[in-house]
A and B are shown apart, each in its own frame.
Chain A
Amino acid sequence: MTTAISVSGLVKTFGRTRALDGLDLTVEQGEVHGFLGPNGSGKSTTIRVLLGLLRADSGTATLLGGDPWRDAVPLHRRIAYVPGDVTLWRNLSGGEAIDLLGRLRGGLDPARRAALLERFELDPTKKGRSYSKGNRQKVALVAAFAGDSDLLILDEPTSGLDPLMEEVFRECVGEARERGATVLLSSHILSEVEALCDRVSIIRAGRTVETGTLDELRHLTRTSVDAVLTGPPPHPAYAHDLTVDGNRLRCHVDTEQLGTLLAELTAVGVRSLTSRPPTLEELFLRHYENDPADTPSTAAAR
């Protein structure tokens, strides 16, 4: 497998704000890569650097084997981009905007375009000014999926879509993956990421804090344990968020200490035991929560 996106040590400052602070990101060809992080952590800035709209201050970025700044035009023939907040030209119809955006990046398949309009239930004759946010988003999605781009860069693409349309979107990403396209999906919708992504990168304050498959990430983090024992529970020092209520114990433990905890619990005697791997949600919360230790002095913008 070759690398579609390779970013290392990317730094971008806006005035005194450090939006990207040594960001790393690797996306393999053909994978759907989730790009996660709280608001203002630098996701859109990274994407705009990858699109050659912003010039990084330092670090390297390679996109489909080219330089995103220098080779912007030839690269963009192979890339489809959906921004998180689509603005359309007021006096162009949705259909015109779809065709224009498609042609600007090397054409789109008329049959697929027609099918996508149907699936997304989008009326292409409306003028840009009269579309709702969700429908503007659909215009950009149809333009992106109707082409044969090698790389799809989707920046929170489903904001404003209803659950049915969200489902259509997931199908479309799946189809893109099947024809061999690479997808970089920035998102806040965890179920979407869990359903679609092969690997994820979590960034915070302009830095990558975690990257890998979801299983790998789960392994790195804590398992929650809820046990009712036959006697008074132990108070292991390595357990996090420990609560003891009579004979009941609830806590989180790092995955490598799960065995030790189980041995201790068994020694007391177990009446019932539930152990749950961390949900993606917990994974996120752990990384999103404000940890003063690694919050840079200036909050990242964008």
Chain B
Amino acid sequence: MSGYTLAGTGTLYRLALRRDRIALPVWVYIGTGMVASTAFSFRKLYGDEASRRTFAAGIDGNGSLRALYGPIFDGSTIGGLTAWRMGVFGAVLAALMSTLLVVRHTRAEEEDGRLELIGAGAVGRRAPLTAALATALTADAALAALVTIVLLAAGQSAAGALAFGLALGATGLFFAALAAVTAQVAETGRAANGLAGAAIGIAFVLRAVGDSGSGTGWAVWLSPIGWSEQVRAFADDRWWVLALPLGGAALLTVLARALVEHRDLGAGMLPQRPGPAAAAPGLANAAALARRLQRGALLGWALAFAAGGAVFGSVAKGVVDLVGDNRQMADLMARLGGQQGVLNAYLSTIAGVFGMIAAVYAVQSVLRLRAEESAGRAEPVLAGAVSRLRWAGGHLLFPLLGSAVLLAVVGATAGLAQSAALGGGTGDAVGRMLGATLVQLPAVWLTAAVALAVYGLLPRWTAAGWAGYGVFVLVAWLGPILQLPQWVLDLSPFTHLPHLPGNAVTAAPLLWSTALAALVALAGLAGLHRRDLG
């Protein structure tokens, strides 16, 4: 009987690989490429062990870096430094890749009705899910193998290289299985991705909390991303830790398969409720429709930002304490401006990270235009007395103002939590934190404007809007450690933002970034105004 429920898995697996023949290698190459470039630039920058140890000692005392990247377990080898620098980032990347792959081949297919066509063939009930998981397994195995190979090529220990590769791959697999569950529970691909994405965010925050101070270390063990870190590649190579993500993936897979058996095609786990028989008087124009369509996502993001701000604000105390314990570091930090300087460095790093995350929201809400257009839902609206600019404008309020709301939320909650943890004037802390987060807006806007320009001018290449985001963030995130030339760093608007709190605000970069965003957005709107729709 179980043989029948899996019928057609092989065909569906090959179909998935065929559909993802570009996206899947790109994900794997980005992950591998970043590990490789990190390893090779560490080899160039810190060629001898002494320089590596000095570098590692300096990093390990810096609470903000510990919160973002985790502790350095082995500061003596290039492999150890690479595992530190790319561990969390690589795990998040593998988790995102696996989530998107699994949802794309399960719930999204079901939502679009294609799975119905497939399900009518000689295809077992569990085949689509199994094929999607097999696709994710393929991608994660490829990532693990290539990461191992590049670290070997960089001359690192075989055991460490393999441990690091497997840690990333296993994290990916865990989230693939988690996405398989959310794809059963949620009724839309968007919601399934949202649930799994929230889980990735929580895993990231838990690990950051655990690593950021003393006494919270247990939190790392609650996080699958923390497990990946705790494999401690190149330091201890704790293979047994891999049992956690792999065992978790197995359990989640069993759960997802059980859920498949207990629901109808197209349905989720939650019952459908009837809606109103008539529209509220306010739902009378394109902007109101856009608000209705986008408000749920903004609310979800705002809750996530509020939680993130509260967590990262409240661990500020640990960051300061950490420096306090380490005399040598304290001396170093005193020269950087004392405890206040350390705190400011931490807060400005956190504000920058939330700026980059807010840009994800901004790009996503711009691309909602394309989703509406290609699904054919823009057509009946535009066949009404609605100009294209008005239609687009209703949606674009969200990247424009919604991202400001998100950054204000995270600034306010981080400020409140920080003053609760450290004492001191609440109003002052909130005000400084709001400044630090809101100053990210021009870069967020420019990123969103690039996505809008791609959508307006080259609608078929809309996904390339994410490429713009990727370039901006990778350059700002990895550029400094890779010691890229300044002109490359200058390509990213995030490079130009003043580091608040603790530094002076210079208006010029904010102004030109905003002006450039307006120009690029206008080009996109002009394209949308002129081109064919559909």
Contact = CB atoms under 8 A, between A and B. Distances in A.
A55 B530 CA distance: 8
Interface string A123-158: 011110110000000001000000000000100000
Contacts of B386: 73, 76, 104
B325 interface: no
Interface string B241-274: 0000000000000000000000000000000111
Nearest to B378: A53
Contacts of B380: 81, 83, 86, 101, 140
B120 interface: no
7 smallest beta-carbon distances between A and B, as pairs: A104-B384, A93-B275, A99-B279, A125-B274, A81-B383, A96-B279, A95-B277
Interface string B113-130: 000000000000000000
Residues of B in contact with A, size category: 35 or more
Interface string B371-391: 000011101111111110000
Nearest to B391: A104
A88 B278 contact: no
A205 interface: no
A125 to B, nearest CB: 4
Contacts, number: 116
A270 B384 CA distance: 62
A244 interface: no
13 contacts: A53-B382, A54-B534, A76-B384, A81-B383, A87-B375, A96-B276, A99-B278, A101-B381, A103-B283, A104-B384, A124-B277, A125-B275, A126-B275
Nearest to A129: B187
Given A54-B533, A73-B387, A103-B285, A83 B379 contact: yes
A72 B272 CA distance: 38
Nearest to B187: A129
Interface string B274-309: 111111100111100100110010000000000000
Contact of B278 (A73, A79, A95): A95
A87 B379 CA distance: 9
A48 interface: yes
Given A54-B532, A73-B387, A129-B187, 9 more contacts: A48-B379, A76-B383, A93-B277, A96-B278, A96-B283, A99-B278, A99-B283, A104-B384, A124-B277
Contacts of B447: none
Contacts of B289: 89, 100
B32 interface: no
A154 B381 CA distance: 15
B188 interface: yes
A88 to B, nearest CB: 7
Interface in A93-125: 93-101, 103-106, 124-125
A101 B384 contact: yes
B307 to A, nearest CB: 24
A57 to B, nearest CB: 10
A301 to B, nearest CB: 12
